[in-house]
Chain A
């Protein structure tokens, strides 16, 4: 009986030590979260360090009233801002080197579309695109569309690997800067640039190149339609701003399209382009 009591005492003692350790660990985690500014506890107390300089929603209060049980706002750090002359749709010149080590700069301006294919030599998904680019005449891209492959620079890619996958005659630029300029999240990634405006008009990912081709065809049609409309109507009359909007409203009403018309509120690309027989969804979203 005495022996059993001793054993139980030892077990209780061990459990006590274990609970104390867990409590200490939990306290350390809470302290670390608090130091990171997650807001556990009372982050609004005077003297507390602040780590919220780069949070989204600038100008909004990040503090909660004591005891508030709402969701905790986690700090979201933002990347460095783009240079003043650039935006999320600007399309700067791509400067880098070729896989053979020569210097090369490609501008995306001009009266054509430029399809930038951001690929890597090692990614498995990219392999299908490298293979497709071996036969450029079978890609099916619309005329006046320039295909340019952009890999990261020699600091992050092996030029020999890129050279072994690049077809003869294919324009390949190795430029890590370009991946930053075009805010490429990973490979494969495609960016479509309208040279006449120098803006990105579409970007995104795709698994098969025919998906990209479909997007380029649509973008080309959109671009031409926009040019015709702009040149023949409000643009030709030198209208801009509210006058141009008013002119557009008159054109729509003359065509029988009144405010609230369902055609003004497409819910899918099929509403815009008509129903297609393909199952594939467009791979690339509008850049804005």
Chain B
């Protein structure tokens, strides 16, 4: 089976069946220094959405999933918030809460984790379309995050996308 692999900015994501995604760096505004963001979804992602799914999570169906991997600047390294080493690779249904949502939409459920992976500080934010269906949706989330790869140097030149 051919698997689409997104690869850019030091992040590689083999996409499980039914997922689409993008890995990008927003244009800087003023003196802001933007860092890579990866968005993944089981539904059609609009071209211009917020880093954490603004403009997208309201389009989710009950069986949909949205996930965002957001990198922070190196000044965050070593801070207690990012003390956890390594991205969570296997979540459980109990990790999701209806009130852990950046935008509280009825019926949805979310989880957020802060960690350091490959010397880079990240947060992983996942939204399920239906809290009631979390036992069915969480394995699909794990299929996605279980294969995400982060390399130490985000500036390393890499092929943006490929298939294997």
Contact = CB atoms under 8 A, between A and B. Distances in A.
A95 B5 contact: yes
Interface residues of A, number: 30
B47 A169 contact: yes
B15 interface: yes
Between A103, A104, A106, A168, the greatest number of chain B beta carbons within 10 A of the residue's beta carbon is seen for A103
A222 B152 CA distance: 51
Interface stretch (A18-26, A37-45, A51-59, A170-178): A170-178
A93 B24 contact: no
Interface stretch (A28-36, A107-115, A262-270): A107-115
Contacts of A111: 61
A110 B43 contact: yes
A114 B20 CA distance: 14
Given A83-B2, A102-B8, A103-B7, A95 B61 contact: no
A93 B4 contact: yes
A169 B46 CA distance: 8
A110 B160 CA distance: 25
B147 interface: no
B29 interface: no
Given A102-B24, A105-B15, A110-B44, A96 B161 contact: yes
Contact of B160 (A97, A146, A168, A171): A97
Interface in B21-41: 21-25
Q: Chain A: interface secondary structure?
A: loop
Given A93-B20, A97-B161, A107-B20, A171 B2 contact: no
Nearest to B20: A107
Interface in B69-113: none
Interface residues of B, number: 28
Nearest to A95: B4
Interface in B1-23: 1-2, 4-9, 15, 18-23
Given A95-B161, A95-B163, A103 B44 contact: no
A85 B17 CA distance: 13
A103 B22 contact: yes
Contacts of B43: 110
Contact of A102 (B15, B20, B22, B46): B22
A241 B115 CA distance: 54
A277 to B, nearest CB: 34
Contacts of B61: 111
B2 A92 contact: yes
A175 B42 CA distance: 20
Interface of A: 83, 85-86, 92-98, 100-107, 109-112, 114, 146, 168-171, 175, 177
10 A-B pairs with least C-beta separation? A102-B24, A103-B8, A95-B4, A107-B20, A103-B160, A103-B23, A97-B160, A93-B4, A103-B6, A95-B161
Interface of B: 1-2, 4-9, 15, 18-25, 42-44, 46-48, 61, 160-163
